[in-house]
Structure 1
Amino acid sequence: MLIKHNTTQRDDGYLDKTPYFQFILLSCLFPLWGAAASLNDILITQFKSVFELSNFASALVQSAFYGGYFLIAIPASLVIKKTSYKMTILAGLSLYIVGCSLFYPASTMATYTMFLAAIFSIAIGLSFLETAANTYSSMIGEPSRATLRLNISQTFYPIGAIAGILLGKYLVFQDGASLEEQMAVMNAEQLHAFKLEMLQHTLKPYKYMIFVLLGVASLFALTAFPKCKVKTDNTKQAPSVGETLKYLSTNARFKKGIVAQWFYVGMQVAVWSFTIRLALEMGNLNERDASTYLIFSFMGFFIGKFIANVLMTKFAQEKVLIAYSLLGMLCLVYVSFVPNFSAVWMAIVVSLLFGPCWATIYAATLQTVDNKYTETAGAVIVMAIVGAACVPAIQGLVADMVGLQMSFMVNFVCFGVVAYYFVSEMKFKAQDKPVVTATV
């Protein structure tokens, strides 16, 4: 029997009120991709030592993960168009389960390429989930609260991210000296056996995630969800992907939002990818202890979102995000140039300032397009996640050339682009306000 809802859909696809059970269940998807993304940060550290990779090569984990998002977002939007948000989410959960299952052969074959293939497969499922869930969360209620709803849903993300790090901390990383210290005193035979054992540990978190995913998929299958589709004239054909992309290419504000999202997501993932490495470099720690600082980063991310949600009820969202961005730039200068362990703590503060960026940019960018283009426009915004496939690799390359700490200046530039975007949005809204003239 389906769990029903009691809402009325407007012509623009939004609802007259938010169905709370459906909204909470939808928001529970956000920690699922948060866990997968944070596990990548664990894998980067593990693979760098086991496969003896450069910073650049280890960052290819993120390239495989977020490259999948880029390639699948448009096909996912077509599934939404042809079916529904609910069916797209169920497809994404199924593909996510398949990707997790591929860690079984990957841990046995013990090749970096096979692990990248498994990570790419997970990303395919997550692309379906994010393309559907981000847009759906913004639409499942009144349009005036679209940004707030998405920010609330995104607040669930760090819960999953922390869970992913905890799984990696206790199931992938081990006690004792760091991997590099242990491997330095082994002969060739011992080294080979040790590496195989360490790669077997990477499978453990994904075993637990499969069971969680099966439970969530069952709940979605048993729950009725509103369609949230724009009502169209049956005599008129819905715009094709080509028409939509042509329209979006002429929308200046939409294009600025895409650029801002590209730089923001790239910066967020880059900072988190190298936080554990920074803690290892700045302190005498092993991987398990160093991963604790990434947990603090996600806690900061959660707190930053909560504070921003409160601030945005009192101040214009653009002003809040400009303040966050400028403070983030100052913190990144500190991370890059202060040569002691306090730089790691400042990287955690940077994570606090990431809090509201993704959801606010996403919702603001989506609201710049006509309603009939919503599904494809949402997919294009998700495609901007490909910044996370590029910026960590760029930071890894810079780290190999000038050192890990200095490489955090790459993220300084990214935060500058985000600040510029919100300044331009604030100026646009100021110009767009109607001029009030006095009458006698």
Structure 2
Amino acid sequence: MDSLVIKQHHSWKQLSDGYLSRTPLFQFILVSLIFPLWGAAASLNDILITQFKSVFLLNDTATAFVQSAFYGGYFLIAIPASLIIKKNSYKFAIMTGLLFYIVGCSMFFPASHLATYSMFLVAIFAIAVGLSFLETSCDTYSSMLGPKKSANMRLNISQTLVPLGDITGIILGKYLIFGSVGNLQAKMSVMHGAERIAYGEKMLQLTLMPYKYILIVLVAILVIFALTPMPRAKAAETGKQEEAKPGLSETIRYLSHNKRYMKGVMAQFFYAGVQTAVWSFTIRLALNLNSHITDSAASTFMIYSYIVWFVGKLVANFFLARYSITKVLTWFSALGTLCLVVSFTVPSMLAVYAAIMTSFFFGPEWPTIYAHTLDAITEKKYTETGGAIIVMALIGGAIIPAIQGAVSDISGSMQFSFIVSAIGYLIITLYFYFEYRFDKAHPELVQEH
């Protein structure tokens, strides 16, 4: 059986494996436009880390709690989100995510007035809950919105928009949060008592500004999404309800015995951690290596990072369409590792530019690991939960930056701490190298070409 009942008023045909006969362009664009929304939230964290360190007198380990709250939300909610997708629809899960995102952004209003680090972390966690729903649903949904043979390419196209959100977020932070403050840490280091507290509270008020604009966009997207008919994009039930919707324990048992799937989850864990750590501390690295630049000027390095990340995605898409996916990613990962070696060994601003160049090689990593790992699930009834667990691997974004922050505090060198990211990227390189060897030995199992 190749398809389900065809609805004549739709231009697509729903196939029994969950994919579509063709890609509905408007719906695909609408889903893809959600991708930059979580990019904006993630890049603003890099701004908040620098802001909070100065205002709350935090060490590098404590600043990493911003990412811990953010990616901890992903980890805790991914499975519940997948269960909601299984019982309802991708559309319902996406709208739920948008609502949580709206709530989280709204919480910056009281957080900026209460002026406590913990309240900001709660707001960031609430945003992450929404983003966990969005990524758990949108990553899989994007790959399903069309023929199976182009699933990886669709996800890479959608993910190509994420850097645009990151660039928007960092620009909003650069001008609305950092503004014309200069070097906040240097300025506040000479303040004491009530003067310091009052100035710190004034600076925290600035953190609210970017989220006002994000809220407007979120509400608009939510309304459009609610009014748009969306494909179901789920595998057909076989007539046996227990086969169509397996229990969580059965799914976990199947996935945990799938070695290639578990290796992919491990790779995603390290990738999420490395990307987050590099981006979290690039601004701090620049400020440490050149104490004369301002916070706003240092944040410009992150704009460069997101631009080369975007370019890296475009270049990767060119190679991924023509060569072995695992071979391309092996080279990208190896060259990214080399850049990070330069970042922690060369005692000059060249280390910052090497960290920026690493973002070029980040380009194809997340969507390719995601789709490649999802392809390792041969029983598609486990797809929703399998995708959720890959999203849960984003907990690496909470753990590895904390480790890198601790290494910075212990060694007294932010630059040396980049060795943590270099080791993580080396592990990813080895993953793709062995996957490439597996693909060469078993060409009949390669689904991506």
Q: In the alignment, does 2:438 pair up with 1:428?
A: yes
Q: Which runs of 5+ in 2 are unaligned?
A: 1-8
Amino acid paired to 1:358? W
TM-aligned CA deviation for residue 5 of structure 1 = 4.2
Offset, 1:154:
0.4
Question: What amino acid maps onto 2:403 in structure 1?
Answer: I
- Aligned-residue offset at 1:393: 0.4
Cα distance in 2 for partners of 1:153, 1:433 equals 27
Matching of residues 226-237 of structure 1 within 5 Å: 226-237=231-242
Q: What per-residue deviation string (whole Å, max 9, x for no partner) do you get for residues 119-168 of structure 1?
A: 00000000000000000011111111111111110000000000000110
Q: State how 1:115-126 maps to structure 2 within 5 Å.
A: 115-126=120-131
Partners of 1:375 and 1:275 lie apart in 2 by 35
1:222 aligned partner, one-letter code: L
Which segment is superposed worse, 356-365 or 313-322? 313-322
Deviations 1:160-215 (A, max 9, x none): 00000011001111314311221122231211110000011111111111111000
1:379 aligns with 2:384: no
Residue 323 of structure 2 is matched in structure 1 by: 315
Indicate which of 21, 24, 39 corresponds to 1:16.
Answer: 21
Amino acid at match of 2:280: S
- What do residues 28-75 of structure 1 show as CA deviations (whole Å, max 9, x unaligned)? 111000000000000000000000000000011000000000000000
Q: What is the CA–CA distance in structure 2 between the aligned matches of 1:13 and 1:350, rounded to whole Å?
A: 36
Counterpart residue number, 1:210: 215
Residue from 260, 263, 268 that aligns with 1:253: 260
Q: Offset of 1:281 from its aligned partner?
A: 1.1
Amino acid at match of 1:383: M
Partner of 2:55: 50
Q: Counterpart of 2:4?
A: none
Match of 1:346 in 2: 354
Secondary structure of the residue that 2:425 maps to in structure 1? helix
Partners of 1:367 and 1:78 in 2: CA distance? 20
Give the aligned residue type for 2:87: K
Q: Which amino acid aligns with 1:416?
A: L
1:206 match: secondary structure: helix
Which residue of the partner structure matches residue 263 of structure 1? 270
RMSD over aligned Cα, in angstroms? 1.1
Partner of 1:328: 336
Residue 434 of structure 1, CA deviation: 5.6
Does residue 288 of structure 1 match 2:296?
Answer: yes
- Residue 358 of structure 1 and its aligned partner are, at CA, apart by 0.3
Aligned to 1:29: 34
Q: Which amino acid aligns with 1:430?
A: K
CA distance in 1, matches of 2:337, 2:10: 44
Paired amino acid for 2:353? W
Q: What does residue 88 of structure 2 align with?
A: 83
In 2, Cα distance between equivalents of 1:147 and 1:347: 27
Give distance in 2, aligned partners of 1:112 and 1:360.
35
Distance 1:350 1:136, change over 3 A: same
Task: Choose which of 357, 361, 379 in structure 1 pairs with 2:369.
Answer: 361
- Does 1:241 pair with 2:251? no
CA distance in 1, matches of 2:221, 2:10: 18
Aligned position for 1:276: 283
Q: Counterparts of 2:10 and 2:423 in 1: how far apart (Å)?
A: 45
Distance apart, 1:103 and its partner CA: 0.6
User: Could you tell me which residue of structure 2 aligns to residue 438 of structure 1?
Assistant: none
Distance 2:175 2:83 in 1: 40
In 2, are the aligned partners of 1:5 and 1:224 still within 8 Å (CA)?
A: no
Q: Which of 392, 402, 411 is equivalent to 2:421? A: 411
Distance 1:184 1:266 in 2: 31
Is residue 117 of structure 2 the alignment partner of residue 112 of structure 1? yes
Shift of 1:22: 0.6
Q: Distance in 2 between matches of 1:177 and 1:79?
A: 46
- 1:178 correspondence with 2:183: yes
1:395 aligns with 2:400: no
Q: Secondary structure at the match of 2:241?
A: coil
Query: Which is worse superposed, 254-263 or 186-195?
Result: 186-195
When the two structures are superposed, what TM-score results if normalisation uses the length of structure 1? 0.97
The change in CA–CA distance for 1:295 and 1:413 in structure 2 (over 3 A counts) is same
| Amino acid of the structure 1 residue aligned with 2:239 | N
For 2:112 and 2:19, the matched residues in 1 are separated by: 45
- Counterparts of 1:43 and 1:23, CA distance in 2: 32
1:180/1:141 CA distance change after superposition, 3 Å: same
Identity of aligned residues (%): 54
Which secondary structure does the structure 2 equivalent of 1:8 belong to? coil
Which secondary structure does the structure 2 equivalent of 1:186 belong to?
A: coil
Letter in 1 for 2:144: M
**Cα distance change, pair 240–119 in 1 and its aligned pair in 2 (3 A):** same
Equivalents in 2 of 1:123, 1:326: separation in Å?
Answer: 30
2:3 is aligned to none
Conserved 8 A contact 1:5-1:225:
no
| Residue 68 of structure 2 is aligned to residue 40 of structure 1 | no
Counterpart residue type for residue 182 of structure 2: A
| Matched letter for residue 129 of structure 1 | L
Secondary structure of the 1:319 match is helix
Aligned-partner Cα distance in 1 for 2:359–2:419: 15
Give me the whole-angstrom Cα distance separating, in 1, the residues matched to 2:332 and 2:10. 37
Q: Is the 8 A contact 2:17 2:235 kept in 1?
A: yes
Give the corresponding residue for 1:153.
Answer: 158
CA contact (8 A) 2:182 2:296 kept: no
| Contact 1:65–1:119 under 8 Å retained in 2 | yes
